[in-house]
Structure 1
């Protein structure tokens, strides 16, 4: 089982053993844009979802705080997202952090759920209490950069995605709101130009109200061919 530990702004540390992980899919608030994205991916061979939005269960051990992702081949890439981490029973025990959903793009055409389980969800080592930022959550920027030159590949705000409160309600209704839950938000569109299949990914949440940001970065190493 994976263990996660987060430094909070007040200097305290919150930790939990991961019990379940979910990756949200097709989670944009603009449903017209979501459908356009589904149609775009369908042309690339990615199967359309049976429902939108949705949650893909992911193996708990894939929630990681790491600086290195080892991939089976060169066509894997990240997605800049926020993540919820439930560390206890109270409202102040729900944390918000930066995350990157690393995905196998070759496998994605056979099944989105399969592709999510083929690579880790990389989480930052710092977090905010959701209760401290929920009042201005929509203003928080989600930023993705790739390569050692840190080319900007994603830049948007939390207002583009369904809010954490939506997903917390979904978990409660399903009887799945429990300590050790990790939930990634789904992602925002990529900027055309930068190569998503880069050897390094960096994601950040930037709070314009407090001036704070949470950053996570990792290198991608392609494993050698079978011997």
Structure 2
């Protein structure tokens, strides 16, 4: 993967480990409420929270398309932390997930679709002092673009929390990419859309990083 930084530098990263945070809200009371909603939909509750799901590294992509086998897949607005040889980068991400498979296991559903990352990034050290002020917004396209998620990074566990977790489990190494988990979706908006756009914003500088992709349905199996 390649990331462009604000100072013009371009960083190449070979992804060696991909990890997805789950149930990673800063308020674990809100997380418990969300888990209860998922259980009511038949999705298994985690044994403990927050969770960290190892995902196949090749599922971290910078692409404009996701291929899906059916119409019940959707994204999740997230930030992603990228460990390089010399630095820690922060970028935007969208964790595309198979919602039908999710009822059989969250880890399975995440393994069935890619993690979409932005082409730009910021050095974590440059924004860490205002991390909670950064914004995370997502839109879906069902004919027209509609906002489906909006919040700040204050709603999620901070990068430093996950850096400590990586060190504890000997996972802090160049090529590790970690996604943050997501913020709530706006009720009443259809998440099963034909396109997703996610934006990470820094109100202090006015800079934004975005990723956008189309969801392409695969043809029915040939038999």
TM range (shorter): over 0.9
2:10 is the alignment partner of 1:13 = yes
* Structure 2: runs of 5+ lacking an equivalent: none
Specify the SS of the correspondent of 2:13. Answer: strand
Distance, in Å, in 2 between the alignment partners of 1:82 and 1:113 is 19
Q: CA deviation at 1:192?
A: 1.1
Residue 213 (structure 2) aligns with: 218
- Write out aligned runs for 1:1-227 (5 A): 4-88=1-85, 90=86, 93-147=87-141, 149-227=144-222
Shift in Å, 1:125: 0.2
Alignment root-mean-square deviation, CA:
0.7
Paired positions, count: 221
Instruction: Structure 1: give runs of 5+ residues left out of the alignment.
Output: none
CA deviations on 1:145-181 (whole Å, 9 max, x unpaired) are 0005220000000000000000000000111100000
Q: Deviations over 1:72-131 (max 9, x none)?
A: 11000000000001111x4xx100000000000000000000000000000000000000
Runs of 4+ in 1 over 6 A off after TM superposition: none
Deviation at 1:51, TM superposition (A): 1.1
* 1: CA distance, partners of 2:12 / 2:180: 20
Give the TM-score, by structure 1 length. Answer: 0.96
State the SS of the aligned residue for 2:173. coil
1:53-89: CA deviation from partner (whole Å, max 9, x where unpaired): 010000000000000000111000000000001111x
TM-score scaled by length of structure 2: 0.98
Q: How far, CA to CA, are the matches of 2:112 and 2:118 in structure 1? A: 20
